[in-house]
Structure 1
Amino acid sequence: MRSFYKSIILTLSILAVYLNSFSQSKDYSEKERADVMILGTFHFAYPNLDRIKIEEKDQLDFSSTERQEEIEQLVEQIAQFKPTKIAVELKTWSQHKIDSLYNEYLKGNYELPINESYQVGFRLAKMLNHKRVYCVDAWGNINEYFDGDNKNVFTPKKEKLSMFEKLKAYSDSLLTADKENVDERNSSIHNKTLQEILYESNQPEKISRDHADYLNNLFLFEENEGDYAGVDWLSASWFNRNMRIFRNIQRITESADDRIFILYGSGHLYLLQSLLAESQRYNVVSVLDYIK
C-alpha cells in the first residue's frame, strides 16, 4: 500500500513538472493588474498572541483623545489611495458577523472596539461609503498539530505535546537573549505618533528583517537532532497561513479596476507583498507615500 501511494505521488509530481514546462504564463500589463496597498501594523488591543509579548506599561492607550485623533488622521491619509475594497485581519468565517457589526456602525449603534480592523478598517470604509469590510484572514494547515474543530481554541495532539514544550523553551531562550533590545523598542514608541511608528515599521529594511527573524529563529528549532520540527511547524502555521490569506485576497479581486487596501500585522508584510507582486496580477503600491 505504501509503495502504491509513493507511486501516485511520483506520478503527480512528474505531471506537475510536465504541465508547468509546457504551459505559457501570460504577461500581464500594468493596466491588467489590480492596485493593492498593504499597511503593516501592530495590534492596538495588545492581545499578546504573538511570540513577543508587550508588557502593560509599554502598551499605547488608543482610547485616549490624542491617539484617537492620530487614528482619524491615518484614515484620512489612507483614503487618498481611494481604495475600492478594504481587507482586514479578521477570519473569513466571521464575515457575516462583521457585515452585521459594520451595518450597525453605519447606523450609529456600534461603538468601535480598540482593534485596528475596526478603528481603521470600519472608519475608512464608512468614509468611502463602502458596503462592507472584507475579512481575509485564515489559520494555516495546522490540523496535524491540534485536535478538535474549534476555530479559535486549539488543543495540541498528545503526540505533539513534547514538541510544543521544547519549542516554547527554545523560543523563550531566544527572547531572553534579545530582551534588552525588545524592551528598548517597546518603550521608545511612547514618544512617537502613530504615523511615525507605522512609517518606521513599513520600511523595506524593517520588513526584510522581520522576515529574516522567522528564518533565523524558530525555523532552526529541532526537537531531535537532525529533524525538521521548526521547519514543519512554521510551514504549517506561518507560511501556509500567508498563502491562504493571499488566496483570500485573490478571491475578493474582481477586476484590474480594483484598488485594494489591506490592513495586516506587520510580520505578514514580506510574504504577502512577495506573493502579490510575484503573481503578476497586482501592482503593489507603497504605503509610505501616504503616511508620511
Structure 2
Amino acid sequence: MVALALGVPAWATAPKPALMIVGMPHLANPGRDIANTKVENILTPQRQREIEQLVDRLATFRPTHVAVEWPAGEQAKLDQRYDDYRAGRRTLDSNETDQIGLRLAAKLGLPRVDAVDWNDDAPGKDADYDFPAWLKAHGRGEEWTTYQATAQRQADAEGAFQRCHPLADWVRKFNDKAGLDEMARPYFEIATFGDDANNPGAAWVGAWYARNLRIYDHLLRIGGAPGQRTVAIFGAGHGPMLRSDAVESGRFTLADVVSYLPPLSEAAC
C-alpha cells in the first residue's frame, strides 16, 4: 500500500478559484438518455432573446474560463468552431455548447472555450453495465419498465414546464436544491439493479461517478489557480456530482447560478 505523506498542500492555504456549474437541458434534443424531454425549439426569435438574456446574466459572474461538455481530447475542433463563430463564418447550432458556451465566451472576449468532458468506454465489457438486460434476465423486468415509465413521465412534465416558461426558468429549475435532489436520487435506485454476484446497476453508477471525476480533473487543470473563475455548462444530470466534487475536494469556491437568475416567472400557458 502506498503511504500518503502528511502535511498541508500549498493549494489549501491559497485563495480558492471560483466555479459555477450551469446544469442545462440538452437543447438540441439528442434523445440519448433513459427518458428524454422534448425541448422547445430554441432558435425562434423569442427563445433567442431569452438565451441572450441568460448569457448577459452569466457574464456578470465575470468568468475567466467557459468550460463545456465537449471531449477534452478534441479541443482543436472546439477551437476551430469558436474561431469560425467569432469570425462570422459559423451560425450557432441549437446545442448548449454553441448557444450558451460560445456566445458567453465571445461576449467576454475570451480567447477560447475549454473542452472538459470525458466519455470514452469504461473498463470491461458492455454487459458489465447493462442493468436493463440483467433485470430482464433475472425476473425483475417489471422494475425496469416501471423505472423507465416514471422517468419518462417526469421528462414529459419538464417539457410541459419549458413550453410555458422562459429559458432562465428552465435553468433555475435544474439548479435549485429541489432540482438537484431530484436528479441525484435515481442513481441510488439504479445501484440496486443487481445482486452480490453481479451488479451492473452499481457498476454503471460507478462509471458515471468516474466520468464526473474526470471532468472535475479537467476543470481543475484549466481553472484551479487562485483568481480563476470558471463557468461550466453541462447537461443537468452532471450537476449534483460536479458540485459535490468541487466542494468536497476543497479546491473551489462554488458559485450558485440560481443567484444570478431572475425570479421564477408566472407560467405563460
Counterpart for residue 258 of structure 2: 288
CA separation of 1:116/1:163 partners in 2, compared to 1, >3 Å: closer, same or farther?
closer
Q: Which residue of the other structure, out of 112, 124, 133, is the alignment partner of 1:165?
A: 133
Letter in 1 for 2:148: L
Distance apart, 1:206 and its partner CA: 1.7
User: In the alignment, what sits opposite 1:219?
Assistant: 191
Q: Is the Cα–Cα contact under 8 Å of residues 39 and 287 in structure 1 kept in the other structure?
A: yes
Q: Does 1:28 align with 2:12?
A: yes
Q: Any gaps of 5 or more consecutive residues in structure 2?
A: 263-269
Q: CA RMSD in A?
A: 2.2
AA paired with 1:188? F
User: Is the Cα contact below 8 Å between 1:141 and 1:241 reproduced in 2?
Assistant: no
Q: 1:115, 1:180 → 2: CA distance? A: 23
Who wins on radius of gyration, i.e. which is larger?
Answer: 1
Q: Does residue 138 of structure 1 match 2:118?
A: yes
Q: 1:83 aligned to 2:67?
A: no
* Cα distance between partner residues in 1 of 2:223 and 2:20: 13
Match of 2:80 among 80, 85, 100: 100
Answer yes or no: is the 8 Å Cα contact 2:131–2:193 preserved in 1.
Answer: no
Name the residue aligned to 1:188: 161
Q: Is the 8 A contact 2:40 2:159 kept in 1?
A: no
Q: Secondary structure at the match of 2:213?
A: helix
Measure, in 2, the Cα distance between the counterparts of 1:86 and 1:161. Answer: 32
With structure 2 as the length reference, what TM-score do the two structures score? Answer: 0.87
TM score, norm. by length of structure 1: 0.81
The residue aligned with 1:46 is 29
The alpha carbon displacement at 1:220 in A equals 1.0
Q: Following the alignment from structure 1 to structure 2, what is the Cα–Cα distance between the partners of residues 139 and 86?
A: 19
Counterpart residue type for residue 136 of structure 1: V
Inter-partner Cα distance in structure 2 for 1:43 and 1:167: 28
How many Å separate the matches in 1 of 2:176 and 2:129? 38
The CA distance in 2 between the partners of 1:194 and 1:137, in whole Å, is: 24
Equivalent residue number for residue 175 of structure 2 = 202
Please give the per-residue CA displacement for 1:64-116, whole angstroms capped at 9, x wherever unaligned. 11101100111111000000000000111221011011111111001111110
2:70 is matched by which residue type in structure 1? L
Contact 2:35 2:152 in 1 (8 A): no
Partner of 2:148: 175
Instruction: Check whether the contact 2:243–2:254 (CA below 8 A) recurs between aligned residues.
Output: yes
One-letter code of the match for 2:191? F
